[in-house]
């Protein structure tokens, strides 16, 4: 694979369990990036590469931008972790794939997967690193990556273009967005800055499929602390674009595994909205392709008096 790197749009096949097993160390990882039990179901199936991962953000105790060692990680179209083997973690992370776990293919018939091979592969894979510490790609993210220096982040922007992740114009737009928000923070301070010492909460008991309206920016700021957070949860600048709009609730968020620690954190009165993702372009130089869901406190939302049939 090193002679011909995978590019966005390439059709690939996830290798058979027996082949993947040969790539893993005793912890079920390749260079500390785990092959998770949730990934076994994809063995033998085919997907398109959506992007090469030149850099990724993390939202754990040391937030920042980092790069996987070896430049051999890609994302596949639409594949996110179900959390089924990690006590129902609801973070729904995009799954990172080492090229050693994939092969480029044509349109021939995919092979069948041996059930015994899947069983042997699962037996190698860990889900816990300790009594209350989970083991997954998110928990190991800091160990599987190296922090990017300022110069590396600049070269990575050119790398994103060469890899086919974006055009030069798209990258220029992302850099412009980052520069605008960096300048704004220096001049005006934290976005969505409130004045609450103890931030309020509200329980709407929203359910998947229910339509909600995002409150005005003024109403949201009234729920925020001086650091732009509600009970520790940041309101990303791009989330303001949904103010006044109606969206469907995709799912409730009650627990997720924290990047870099493996801790399962409990959430209350928080939901995902369909099509709402984090705003890395506003806070990270050149953006990031991890595309995590944005987390919405219910106090930022309301049930509309007249629900529209379509999102506006």
Task: Give me the tens of pLDDT residue by residue for the chain, a chain 312 residues long.
Answer: 444 689 999 999 999 999 999 999 999 999 999 999 999 999 999 999 999 999 888 777 777 788 998 889 999 999 999 999 999 999 999 999 999 999 998 766 667 788 899 999 999 999 999 988 999 999 999 999 998 888 888 999 999 999 999 999 999 999 999 999 999 989 988 899 999 999 999 999 999 999 999 999 999 999 999 999 999 999 989 999 999 999 999 999 999 999 989 999 999 999 999 999 987 788 788 888 788 899 999 999 999 987 765 444
| Token pair in block for residue 283 | 């806070």
| Token pair in block for residue 108 | 């021939």
| Token pair in block for residue 235 | 């309101």
Q: Mark whether 267 and 144 lie in a shared domain.
A: no
248: β partners: 211
d(CA 120, CA 124): 7
d(CA 29, CA 33): 5
Closest-CA residue to 221 (of 201, 197, 185, 193)? 193
Q: Mark whether 146 and 29 lie in a shared domain.
A: yes
DSSP label at residue 69: T
Q: Mark whether 312 and 180 lie in a shared domain.
A: yes
pLDDT for 289 equals: 79
Q: Mark whether 304 and 213 lie in a shared domain.
A: yes
Residue 119 in domain: yes
| Token pair in block for residue 91 | 């973070």
d(CA 158, CA 167): 10
Q: Mark whether 250 and 299 lie in a shared domain.
A: yes
133: β partners: 130
Residue 5 in domain: no
Residue 266 in domain: yes
Q: Mark whether 210 and 274 lie in a shared domain.
A: yes
Residue 4 in domain: no
pLDDT for 2 equals: 42
Q: Mark whether 305 and 213 lie in a shared domain.
A: yes
Q: Mark whether 35 and 146 lie in a shared domain.
A: yes
Closest-CA residue to 248 (of 296, 209, 215)? 209
Residue 156 in domain: no
Q: Mark whether 94 and 201 lie in a shared domain.
A: no
Q: Mark whether 197 and 312 lie in a shared domain.
A: yes
Domain count across the chain: 2
Closest-CA residue to 287 (of 139, 162, 140, 161)? 161
Q: Which of 110, 135, 150 is the last residue of a domain?
A: 150
Distance of CA 34 to the CA centre of its chain: 16
pLDDT for 302 equals: 97
pLDDT for 5 equals: 87
> Around Cβ 262, how many Cβ atoms within 10 Å?
20
pLDDT for 309 equals: 53
Q: Mark whether 140 and 272 lie in a shared domain.
A: no
Segment holding 177, helix H or strand E: helix 168-188
Residues 37 and 85: beta-carbon distance below 8 Å? yes
Q: Which of 134, 150, 166 is the last residue of a domain?
A: 150
Helix crossing, 168-188 with 150-163: angle to 10°?
150
Closest-CA residue to 137 (of 62, 12, 249, 30)? 30
Residue 166 in domain: no
d(CA 156, CA 148): 9
pLDDT for 147 equals: 86
134: β partners: 128
Residue 69 in domain: yes
Q: Which domain holds residue 24?
A: 11-150
> Around Cβ 4, how many Cβ atoms within 10 Å?
9
Closest-CA residue to 142 (of 24, 257, 57)? 57
Measured at the CA of 269, the angle between CA 266 and CA 273, to 5 degrees, comes to 105
Please measure the distance between the N-terminal and C-terminal CA atoms of the chain and give it in whole angstroms: 44
pLDDT for 308 equals: 65
Residue 6 in domain: no
pLDDT for 64 equals: 75
Q: Mark whether 92 and 27 lie in a shared domain.
A: yes
The radius of gyration computed from the CA coordinates of the chain, to the nearest angstrom, equals 21
Closest-CA residue to 43 (of 71, 69, 14)? 14
Q: Which of 115, 150, 185 is the last residue of a domain?
A: 150
pLDDT for 255 equals: 96
């Amino acid at each position: 694979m090193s002679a011909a790197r995978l590019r966005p749009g390439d059709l690939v096949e996830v290798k058979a369990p027996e082949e993947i097993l040969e790539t893993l160390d005793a912890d079920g990882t390749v260079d500390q990036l785990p092959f998770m039990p949730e990934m076994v179901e994809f063995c033998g199936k085919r997907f398109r590469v959506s992007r090469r991962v030149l850099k990724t953000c993390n939202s754990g105790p040391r937030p920042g931008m980092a790069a996987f060692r070896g430049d051999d990680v890609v994302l596949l179209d639409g594949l996110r972790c179900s959390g089924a083997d990690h006590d129902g973690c609801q973070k729904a992370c995009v799954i990172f794939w080492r090229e050693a776990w994939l092969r480029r293919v044509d349109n021939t018939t995919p092979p069948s997967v041996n059930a015994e091979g899947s069983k042997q592969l699962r037996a190698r894979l860990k889900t816990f690193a300790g009594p209350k510490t989970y083991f997954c790609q998110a928990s190991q993210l800091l160990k599987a990556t190296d922090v990017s220096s300022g110069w590396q982040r600049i070269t990575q922007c050119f790398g994103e273009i060469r890899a086919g992740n974006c055009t030069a114009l798209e990258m220029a737009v992302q850099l412009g967005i980052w520069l605008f928000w960096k300048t704004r923070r220096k001049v005006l301070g934290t976005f969505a800055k409130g004045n609450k010492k103890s931030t309020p909460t509200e329980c709407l008991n929203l359910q998947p499929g229910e339509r909600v309206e995002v409150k005005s920016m003024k109403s949201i700021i009234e729920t925020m602390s001086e650091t732009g957070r509600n009970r520790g949860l940041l309101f990303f600048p791009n989330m303001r674009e949904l103010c006044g709009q109606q969206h469907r609730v995709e799912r409730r968020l009650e627990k997720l595994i924290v990047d870099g620690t493996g801790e399962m954190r409990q959430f209350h009165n928080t939901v995902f909205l369909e099509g709402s993702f984090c705003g890395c372009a506003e806070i990270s130089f050149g953006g990031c392709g991890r595309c995590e869901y944005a987390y919405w406190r219910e106090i930022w939302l309301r049930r509309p008096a007249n629900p529209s049939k379509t999102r506006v």
